Structure 1
Amino acid sequence: MTVLIYACLLFVGSHVLLSSTPLRERLARLFGESGFFGLYVIVALLTLGWMTVAFFDAPNVALWEDPLWGRGLLFLLMPLVCVLLVAGLTSKNPTMAAIGRLDPVENVPGIFRITRHPVMWALALWSGGHVLANGDKASLLFFGSFFTLSLAGPFLIERKKRAKGGPAWETFVAKTSILPFAAI
């Protein structure tokens, strides 16, 4: 279980350190934006891989008995998770690191009328549902890491975009919301 704890801490910590601290700007200047993004992806994949292997190797230590409604909850959540995830990944998403730029918009399109962070909400629903439904220590650590990152992520992204986004970002923010359906 110790290996899983370290892997989860490194996964979450590297995401925050590389995306939301002054280190990000230093590395981007050193390697260029494309080089930095490549480094970020490599670190994310390596830490995710380690975390996944550690999760499957961890002993099954029950914290609570699997609730009867757990599978039903996941069954209900997963279609919504898929819609949010696919819509967020296939739309020109100004909150994603690889896109980064927002063209001035009069009307906010599609999924962004619901939330400006659809991918983060998809991950929060997916991971939160799995924490509740599984009830074991390894799942709490593994899925809890995703849950923590997906709830903290929008606020870290907002801080960065607010500092660099300019008038187009302010217009986008005025017509959308972090919380789903709050701007409709």
Structure 2
Amino acid sequence: MAYLILGLILWTAAHLFKRVAPELRARMGTAGKALAAVGILAGLGLMIYGYRQAEFVNIWFPPAWTVHLNNLMMLAAVFLYGMSATKGRLRGAMRHPQLTAVKVWAVAHLLVNGDLASLILFGGLLAWAVLEVVVINLSEAWERPQPGEARRDIILVIITVVLFLAMTFVHNWLGVWPFPG
């Protein structure tokens, strides 16, 4: 669990670096960006390694129906994440579509995983995403972007379905079939 927790701390610190120490980050220039990127990648690697190595300690038994809710929420998370890059009508629907996607993703995974390592990983990333939104909102003003063409939103829906199917394939390849029975 130590690697998992260390990874979460490193991930969070690297992401918050720009907001918590903006002057230092600005003075560092490209080196500051590189340091943040290395911290994020190292944190991700430690989280993956720590999660895979963690002893299974069951905390609760998720009901079978939560798998269906998880899959629906995951489809929504992929869509929300894509909203940050869309040029469609939904472009300015929310301020933090990527962080909202992470929150939906984390809650979806908490619904179907009742072990301690999952609670630490997904709960930790949920806490990070909430903290990140608060810090960004306190430090930056936001101008809602102008909506674009509706056809771009249709393209986003198609991309969402394709990416969701690809994620299902990867989960299956890793030995986790995300659909019930």
| Both proteins in one fold, TM over 0.5 | yes
1:20 matched to 2:19? The reply is: yes
Paired position in structure 2 for 1:53: 49
Distance 1:152 1:81, change over 3 A: same
Q: Is the 8 A contact 2:106 2:122 kept in 1?
A: yes
Paired position in structure 2 for 1:172: 144
Q: Is the 8 A contact 1:12 1:145 kept in 2?
A: no
Deviations 1:35-91 (A, max 9, x none): 322321121011111111101110111110122122111111111111111121x24
Distance 1:6 1:43, change over 3 A: closer
Superposition pairs of residues 22-171 of structure 1, within 5 angstroms? 22=21, 24-29=22-27, 31-32=28-29, 34-88=30-84, 90-91=85-86, 110-162=89-141, 169=142, 171=143
Distance in 2 (alpha carbons) for counterparts of 1:77 and 1:157: 24
Q: Is the 8 A contact 1:11 1:44 kept in 2?
A: yes
Distance 1:145 1:87, change over 3 A: same
- State the TM-score, normalized to the length of structure 1: 0.70
Deviations 1:93-146 (A, max 9, x none): xxxxxxxxxxxxxxxx63344211100110000011101210110001111121
Distance 1:172 1:87, change over 3 A: closer
Distance 1:144 1:19, change over 3 A: farther
Count of equivalent residues: 146
Secondary structure at 1:172's aligned position in 2?
Answer: coil
Q: Is the 8 A contact 2:102 2:125 kept in 1?
A: yes
Distance 1:110 1:19, change over 3 A: farther
Structure 1 unmatched runs, 5+? 93-108, 163-168, 174-184
Q: Is the 8 A contact 1:70 1:134 kept in 2?
A: no
Distance in 1 (alpha carbons) for counterparts of 2:126 and 2:55: 21
Structure 2 unmatched runs, 5+? 146-181
Give the percent of matched residue pairs that are identical in Structure 1 and Structure 2. Answer: 28
- State the TM-score, normalized to the length of structure 2: 0.71
Distance 1:36 1:128, change over 3 A: same
Distance 1:28 1:172, change over 3 A: same
Paired position in structure 2 for 1:95: none
